[in-house]
Structure 1
Amino acid sequence: MSASMAFAHGVTIGDQGYIQEISGANIIPFIYLGAKHMVTGYDHLLFLVGVIFFLYRASDIGIYVSLFAIGHSTTLLVGVFFNIPANAYLIDAIIGLSVVYKALDNMGAYQRWLGFQPNTKAATLIFGLFHGFGLATKIQTFELSEDGLLTNLIAFNVGVEIGQLLALFGILILISIWRKHPSFLQHAYSANTLLMTAGFTLIGLQLTGFFVA
């Protein structure tokens, strides 16, 4: 496996070439790229699955998804616009850790181990910051034109939120259907074990990339 394959926030070669060639404000294309990134970003989707797994009320889902969006958007904008450096592999390893953290939370691990429940809203916001910074580190490697940069970044963020809503809608439909069957509670622990395993796999891939890069 090459080091480049370990990026969870990968951008296709075609999209990368397009981003590097254009200049000026390109609102619609960047909205599309942002939406595409979220819908195909398996690290984001895994975390969102963990976040909403036991959320039943629309108001609760809205709060948690909004916190994630605030964190994601903030570090993406700030990281790219101010060119804040960070190692992409290590950031993406933390993103993998976010999936593990949420899976363990859903399994009730922290109440058993620590005797109390950590603030889930704060955790969602904090990990949202890392998710956004993960993509920021990738975008920083491209030679983006300064002309229209802020406008394009905002458009990209709008696309990310549109993609997040689309992905969330699909996830909610599947989970809602599953919740109607007795197997949901019977296999919820196993499902989160698989989610945790996926998170550890992401961590392993990113750390491998870090050491072989």
Structure 2
Amino acid sequence: MHSAPLPPLLSPGVRRAALLLLGVMLALMSSTLWAHGVNENDKAFIEGASGVNIIPYMYLGAKHMVTGYDHLLFLAGVIFFLYRLKDVGAYVTLFAIGHSTTLLLGVIFDIRANPFIIDAIIGLSVVYKAIDNLDGFRTWFGFSPNPKAAVLIFGFFHGFGLATKLQELTLAKDGMIPNLISFNIGVEMGQFMALTIILLLMNLWRMSDSFRRSAIVANAALMTAGFLLIGYQLAGYFTQGA
């Protein structure tokens, strides 16, 4: 996994490419960064529905995952240097176990935390994975965290982030558990669809001669995006949620 050691200093060309890539990412993120959550139509449905609604909740779960830029950035980082489907499956399974556990338990037992702090930790997970891909922990600190344990632990926080979105709504008690399970199944379906697209694009990129060189730029941009997510969420915490 640690195939791209972190250079002591990026060349001017790489820095320019990183800035260009970062600018594109910011433009794509700017209109949706604060909107990540449950939109008004979905909110109206959830708060007005009663009884078991398996298909609608599966749809909502899938929709939340495929539009969840923070989850997708982390997953992209996780699979960045994974070449075997066996390894991809192992890491994605750990992530799924983590976020499924806290999503279900958080809502069922009404375990609450400030959503801005949870989302800031999710941003931190993106930063962690980018540094790990660049072998920065070993280069800078002389050790490397256990990658599977880290994916599982951050999976818990990603699931808790999903739980905080649902906790902001008034969920009907009638059919809540089947609906939550359906929502979680939808999340897994959305994750599978998004991961399939990411893997296809990643494999096409890996076949290019520039992959090794541009991989450093991509992970530097990924790290920057993670720091931006952290900054936005902490700004929201201090201005709205403290």
TM range (shorter): over 0.9
Alignment match of 1:121 (pick from 132, 148, 171) = 148
Alignment match of 2:193 (pick from 156, 166, 183) = 166
Of 6-15 and 179-188, deviating more is 6-15
Paired residue type of 2:38: V
Measured in 2, the distance between the counterparts of 1:85 and 1:6 equals 22
Measured in 2, the distance between the counterparts of 1:52 and 1:91 equals 23
Measured in 2, the distance between the counterparts of 1:78 and 1:9 equals 22
Aligned to 1:150: 177
Q: 1:6 to 1:190 in 2, by over 3 A?
A: closer
User: 1:70-89 residue pairs with structure 2 within 5 A?
Assistant: 70-89=97-116
**SS of equivalent to 1:49:** helix
Paired residue type of 1:155: S
Q: Deviations over 1:34-61 (max 9, x none)?
A: 0001100000000000000000000000
User: 1:131-142 residue pairs with structure 2 within 5 A?
Assistant: 131-142=158-169
Paired residue type of 2:90: I
Q: Deviations over 1:85-132 (max 9, x none)?
A: 100000000000000000000011011123232100000000000001
**Runs of 4+ deviating beyond 3 Å:** 5-9
Structure 1 residues not aligned, in runs of 5+: none
Paired residue type of 1:163: G
Measured in 2, the distance between the counterparts of 1:74 and 1:56 equals 27
Measured in 2, the distance between the counterparts of 1:91 and 1:23 equals 28
> Identity over aligned residues, as a percent?
64
Aligned residues: 209
CA shift for structure 1 position 135: 1.4
Aligned to 2:88: 61
Alignment match of 1:12 (pick from 20, 28, 39) = 39
- Any conservation in 2 of the 1:75–1:129 contact (CA below 8 Å)? yes
Measured in 1, the distance between the counterparts of 2:129 and 2:180 equals 28
Paired residue type of 2:231: G
Measured in 2, the distance between the counterparts of 1:166 and 1:68 equals 15
TM-score by length of 1: 0.96
Measured in 2, the distance between the counterparts of 1:57 and 1:6 equals 32
- Any conservation in 2 of the 1:70–1:125 contact (CA below 8 Å)? yes
Structure 2 residues not aligned, in runs of 5+: 1-31
Measured in 1, the distance between the counterparts of 2:61 and 2:164 equals 15
**SS of equivalent to 1:56:** coil
Measured in 1, the distance between the counterparts of 2:92 and 2:205 equals 21
TM-score by length of 2: 0.84
CA shift for structure 1 position 9: 4.4
**SS of equivalent to 1:147:** coil
